[in-house]
Amino acid sequence: MGLDTVRRVLGVPVATLLVVTLILATLVLPAVGGTPHAGAQTAEIEGLRARAGALIDDLDRLNRQVSLLDEEYNGALLEMESLQVEINKAKGRVADATAESDEIRSDVASFAIQTYTGADARSLADTSSVGNRSVRLRYAETAVGSGRDALEQLRGSRLRTEDELAVLAEAEAEAEALGVELEERRVEIEQTIGEQSQLLAGVEGDLDEAVRAEEARRERERAERAARAQAEADRRAAERARVSAARQVEVEVAGRALAATPSAAASEADNAGADQNESEAPAAASEQVAQAAPEAEPVAAAPSATGAHPSAAGAVEAAKSMLGVRYQWGGESPSTGFDCSGLVTWSYRTAAGIGVPHQSRAQYASTRRISTDEIVPGDLLFFGSPIHHVGMYVGAGQMIEAPHSGATVRYRSIGRSDMVGAGRVVG
């Protein structure tokens, strides 16, 4: 048998078969794991995720509505407090005018009686017995015939004050009615939030179950692929051994056929060894790739707070001590809970005795405007249009807030798209 015959029978067909087998294995293996069930389960998970996302968006919208109502309610309380102060002042003016009018009316009556009984007019003009200067003056006017005009002026002043008092009382009643309406709307919205939260919990439970089922399915597929890959690796190793043995036979046959030309036999053996090394190279590369491991993700640092001003630093520490306290509509104390502006009011009052109004819009109006590049721990960040949320900056891009119904005082990133501006407490 000649060398060409040996190549045709043993060499070329075997090498070609090996290459074709490797190509087919590469094309077929990735497609083995895909099943119709896997596609259906993935679609179910995506559907549940979309539904959960929609519910979360609804809850965010409802919580924003509650925050708006909360701050409107706080504004109504501030308005009622201011109106009550004005009402008390107006009541005092009415009481003073009434007392002065009664005193002058009494003096006028005494003057009329003395005149009727014929008393000396000069003694009636003596006002030394009357202590109040304004009363003495008005008594003197009465003595010269102007008492009726003085009474009319007092009566007009009292009527105007009573009209002012009526307007203030009406405004106070309107503010109280607004507070009741806001409370009713809050209860309605929070009931909706509770229903949506329950629905979301059910969807998230279904989603968790579907995800666990999908992970189990993928784990089974990974195990099956690993088993198939191992079987294929074993088959390839056996094939390489068979090819190597065939090459060896080819070399031996060629060596006998070409005993007279040793250099040709040596060249043939070198070629066979090179082919064997090339066939083993892809397997070695695959093993190196399989041994590579991903790096662990870095752990984010916890937020820190160091205020530049003693009062601000104390307010930050006070707010931090309330982490985990529940949110409460209109709340301003640890025992009842906090809303967003109530947490700020309590923190500054507790830490430094600084009076900060209990409403985010009033806090925005009462603080000094600063840019977000200037903020330090203790500064306030305002959100929404109209403003309905406030948080206290604590450093490291974080703030403390009382977020919404059902949540607790917590840290949160300041990176919200609805930020309006920043303010620094003064006083």
Per-residue pLDDT of the chain (427 residues; tens, 9 = 90+): 444 443 444 444 444 444 444 444 444 444 444 556 667 777 877 887 787 777 777 777 777 777 777 777 788 778 778 877 888 887 787 777 777 777 777 766 676 666 555 544 444 445 455 455 555 555 555 555 555 666 677 777 777 777 877 887 887 788 788 778 877 877 877 787 777 777 777 777 777 777 787 788 888 888 998 999 999 999 899 988 888 888 888 788 777 777 766 554 455 555 545 545 554 444 444 444 334 444 343 333 334 444 456 789 999 999 999 999 999 988 999 999 999 999 999 999 999 889 999 999 999 999 999 999 999 999 999 999 999 999 999 999 999 999 988 899 999 999 999 999 999 998 7
**3 state SS of 258:** coil
Residue 305, classed as helix, strand or coil, is coil
Q: How far is CA 28 from the centre of its chain?
A: 48
Question: Whole-model pTM?
Answer: 0.52
Q: How many Å apart are CA 173 and CA 124, to the nearest integer?
A: 49
Give the separation between CA 254 and CA 265, rounded to whole angstroms: 7
Q: Which residues share a beta bridge with 20? A: none
- What gap in Å lies between CA 33 and CA 222, rounded to an integer? 8
Q: Which residue type does 101 have?
A: S
> Which residues make Cβ contacts (< 8 Å) with residue 320, sequence separation at least 6?
305, 394, 400
Using only C-alpha atoms, the chain has a radius of gyration, in whole angstroms, of 46
Pairing of strands 389-395, 332-333: unpaired
Amino acid 32: pLDDT: 44
Do 115 and 161 contact (CB within 8 A), yes or no? Answer: no
Of the candidates 38, 147, 165, which has an alpha carbon nearest to the alpha carbon of residue 100? 147
258: amino acid identity, one letter: L
pLDDT at position 289, please? 37
- The distance from CA 343 to its chain's CA centroid, rounded to whole angstroms, is 15
Residues 6+ apart with CB under 8 A from 188: none
Omega within 30 of 0 (cis) for the link into 377: no
Residue 300 in tokens = 């984010």
CB 103 within 8 A of CB 150: no
DSSP 109-150: HHHHHHHHTT--HHHHT--TT---HHHHHHHHHHHTT-HHHH
The whole-angstrom separation of Cα 341 and Cα 357 is: 8
Tokens of 203: 């969807």
pLDDT of residue 38: 65
Residue 296's pLDDT is: 40
